[in-house]
Structure 1
Amino acid sequence: MINPIQKDKQLIADINSTYNKTEGFRVWWLGQSGFFIQFQGKHLLFDPYLSDSLSKKYAQTDKPHTRISEIVVEPSLLNIIDIVTSSHNHTDHLDAETLLPIFEKNPAIKFIIPEANRAFVCDRLKCKNDFPIGLNDLQSIDIEGFTITGVPAAHNSIERDEKENLKFMGFIVAFGNYKVYHSGDTIWYDGIVETLKPFQVDIAFLPINGNKPERRVAGNLSYEEAARLGKEIGAKLTVPHHYDLFEFNTENSENFVKKAEEYGIAYKVLRLGERIEII
């Protein structure tokens, strides 16, 4: 079992210790695709999965979701969140056991989703229909100093509802002089570089677990594709995610490191619960 370098109250203490910092911004990796961003005393949480709901759901099936890393933080401890996202409807990005405690502890929280997923999201979370804030591709909203823009994701294809709203989405988030890109779950698709490159992001959070049909789940960028995409869009820093959670659907981050160095990109492989700071 992979242990976080800090978890629960120790992690919260680390977050609180930088609450009043005015320079730069900070990022913590919470496992899988979950990243916690702090800027100017405001906090945004990308796609958290902080439970064992999938391990329990699939325990007695032919597709067990055996966890290989500890949960980084009890979701009810996260009580200073202004914005949380769900990039699509898969449970490791839309988990009731994670989100409901977060909503309870953060009554003013704003919840960003793809507009196409509103009915599904509200049914799963038993929330009011007007609670989530829905986006479509290249649609933006300003919240608490963050400008959040939806961009397409292909998992494994770019899917839309009958109103042409995206079902799978990534997010560009601009704040202060910074921009970050959270991919959600995506494979490489035609136009991805042309969509992302103009944003000139400071950090690209990209999945590396790949797309292997034998896993019988929708796939993602491979470690090579993630490194190459970071280079082609001009990201100042590329940070891998979507690995080291489930035994059947992971990747060795050292493979990403080798490709990142081959492509000559700046990268950071975070440990669970680790903080990085961008000035």
Structure 2
Amino acid sequence: MMIPAVIKDDEFIAQVQQYENDKKHFHLWWLGQSGYLLLWQGKRILIDPYLSDSLTKKYAGTHKPHTRMSERVVNPGSLKHISIVSSSHNHTDHLDAETLIPVIKNNPGITFIIPEANRSFVAGRVQMPEAYPAGLNEGGHLTVDGFTFYGIAAAHNAIDRNGKGECLYMGYIIQFGNYTVYHSGDTLWYAGLEKILRTFRINLALLPINGNDPARGVAGNLNVQEAAGLAKAAGMQHVIPCHYDMFTFNTANPADFADSAQAVQQAHTVLPIGGHWSSESL
């Protein structure tokens, strides 16, 4: 039995529409894994969405089955009025053709933000011209439809770069109105990361908690203690954990994260699959 989404499909779309006229607060929904839909003043952006069973199908019958744990929140083909979609790196749970191709098709004029280093690979995966994505590197920024994205290096497991020095793995600081959100992508806590992040005065951080276990055969992430500790060290106002409850071989217990956050007095929220959060909570 999979973990049910608290809201999905048409009811999910209707709930997003319910908050479109809120001019004061922004709203966020967890789509599973590291995927989110963010709504601010009627503008919608998607962050690292994975809304298919492509990895389950790809690894069926192998030594590393990607057995899905939770329901899909929404069909990507039904997501409309999206201004921006982002990918933090090339792993399929963050760059999924079966999610991105219908999103791009159904949202003319959408901006697709990626690490510049991954341009050729990304264009091939989503079947678009190489010039199509908007590339960012560490220290760079770009503004689209009132949202400014800043590139932050991510270590998954190391800060890997191409021959031009461009990062293969990225996180994004997203600023809009009076708010600042940090989506780390997949990363470990590398030396100096908390100092970089502290300068942005982050209101909300979206951090992975599945940890770094080489036995899984995949690159690692922050664990529950590290996610809570990084948020506290970087002065983040609030944190929501992610990158768990998608695949049975690579997950974590969010209750352990909540315990770790409470231990360091870090404000946090654990969302259910499809769960909604509002900046009114800040």
TM-score tier by shorter-chain length is over 0.9
For 1:223 and 1:267, the matched residues in 2 are separated by 12
Match of 1:117 in 2: 118
Match of 1:19 in 2: 20
For 1:190 and 1:21, the matched residues in 2 are separated by 39
- Give the aligned residue type for 1:62: H
For 1:89 and 1:214, the matched residues in 2 are separated by 21
Match of 1:257 in 2: 258
Counting only pairs closer than 5 Å after superposition, residues 28-43 of structure 1 correspond to structure 2 as 28-43=29-44
For 2:119 and 2:148, the matched residues in 1 are separated by 20
Match of 1:73 in 2: 74
Match of 2:232 in 1: 231
Counting only pairs closer than 5 Å after superposition, residues 140-179 of structure 1 correspond to structure 2 as 140-179=141-180
Match of 1:271 in 2: 272
Match of 2:207 in 1: 206
Residue 138 of structure 1: CA displacement? 1.3
- Give the aligned residue type for 2:92: T
Match of 1:132 in 2: 133
For 2:65 and 2:180, the matched residues in 1 are separated by 37
For 1:109 and 1:89, the matched residues in 2 are separated by 19
For 2:146 and 2:125, the matched residues in 1 are separated by 29
Unaligned stretches of 5+ residues in structure 2? none
Runs (4 or more) in structure 1 with deviation over 3 Å come to: none
- Give the aligned residue type for 1:273: G
For 1:126 and 1:24, the matched residues in 2 are separated by 36
Residue 64 of structure 1: CA displacement? 0.3
For 1:80 and 1:27, the matched residues in 2 are separated by 15
Which digits, 9 at most, give the CA deviation of each residue in 1:56-111, with x for residues without a partner? Answer: 00001100000010111100111121000000000000000000010111011000
Residue 125 of structure 1: CA displacement? 1.3
Residue 197 of structure 1: CA displacement? 0.8
For 2:127 and 2:74, the matched residues in 1 are separated by 23
Q: TM-score, normalised by structure 1?
A: 0.99
Residue 24 of structure 1: CA displacement? 1.2
Instruction: Report the number of matched residues.
Output: 279
Match of 1:218 in 2: 219
For 1:41 and 1:48, the matched residues in 2 are separated by 19
Residue 130 of structure 1: CA displacement? 1.1
For 1:88 and 1:116, the matched residues in 2 are separated by 9
For 2:126 and 2:213, the matched residues in 1 are separated by 30
Match of 1:196 in 2: 197
For 1:222 and 1:275, the matched residues in 2 are separated by 23
Local SS of the residue matching 1:30:
strand
- Give the aligned residue type for 1:190: A
- Give the aligned residue type for 1:132: P
Which digits, 9 at most, give the CA deviation of each residue in 1:172-200, with x for residues without a partner? Answer: 00000000000000011111111111101
Match of 1:51 in 2: 52
- Give the aligned residue type for 2:87: S
For 1:237 and 1:8, the matched residues in 2 are separated by 28
Identical residues among aligned pairs (%): 52
Local SS of the residue matching 2:199:
helix
For 1:163 and 1:106, the matched residues in 2 are separated by 32
Match of 2:9 in 1: 8
- Give the aligned residue type for 1:180: V
Local SS of the residue matching 1:82:
strand
Residue 278 of structure 1: CA displacement? 0.6
